[in-house]
Structure 1
């Protein structure tokens, strides 16, 4: 019996991460991470065969102590993130600090810790970025800066690991109907309109297409925009 590939998805308790878990469950052994005990319990109920891990990405230095060993890892999807808006003039250092820790430092550390397993499997790392990782708008400084940095991390990793067979893709979704988007709209003072945003399942299907790209080709950067 051939063993199934293993996929680790961060931020799997909702939104794009949950849809990814649902999409991958039939073909991959899942390792799903989150922070909320209640939501992690729901994950365990929906995916009884998955390994569900409580990882606090706001504490990158603690990841090593809470991560089980992996001999091989086929897919690593960095999906978790935080989005706090504010102008440069009004955003205090602690917001910048948490945003960078969760959105950049934790993915960097998690990748470092899992790199040997990814090399062993000639695995694929997917960074779920944002349109803000390509264009920084007023009031989006901390979040956009973290996403620009995440793009730099992905680009550097791709160049460093391609000779070892590790593939790296960045996906840039536009506004997606998730709890994060609801929080963003509250900060913007606007209405949350899920019908005009991308469905999380559509982003998940795009990422599945990225993962299914033949070995002789690589999608390095994929932008996903609402169709209307």
Structure 2
């Protein structure tokens, strides 16, 4: 059944107005008509079965019928990635949503060299990935900020998995040791630019008390590959894959 992310509140009988693009997708691509059913979610009220109540000249109106799943959230995992080329950032956001990240934070480092970022495009990619994967929320995508500013305002109690291309403990071994007794901690994963972190940035990251420096193996990975590999390793060692 089609799943659609909506912004309106969901409750029995609630009327929901999808965006114009979503309405066109339902009626022109999927050929749905009045009375046909789909699943909707908004990241707050769980997943609901809804039906197309009206087909208008511009858009459709949905009617929420019954909740199919209560609202749940995955692990509190952020993916922090240095801004790279547009196509690779889009891949990273898509895969972050598929792999369970709750938030994607974009950072600017000393070696950042990238295209202009369109947050509206990234939001749409995250929404589509959430629809397809069955998750009940959509990851938040943040405006790029400088790495130093991000570290200066670091959230207390959050651990950082620093993917260190200059060498760190093997990821699974380091993560397994880091979570002993702290399985429910908040975590972030940091992926650097394709030119790597500067020596000063690497030195600061390794000195932070909340950082676990890990290696992603003997090969140099592009940013999108590194993000996928790091999230997979984190999910296997710390995340919700065994739940």
Shorter-chain TM-score bucket reads 0.3 to 0.5
Q: TM-score, normalised by structure 1?
A: 0.41
**Comparing both structures, which one devotes a greater share of its residues to strand?**
2
Q: TM-score, normalised by structure 2?
A: 0.39
**Comparing both structures, which one devotes a greater share of its residues to helix?**
1
Rg bigger for which structure?
Answer: 2
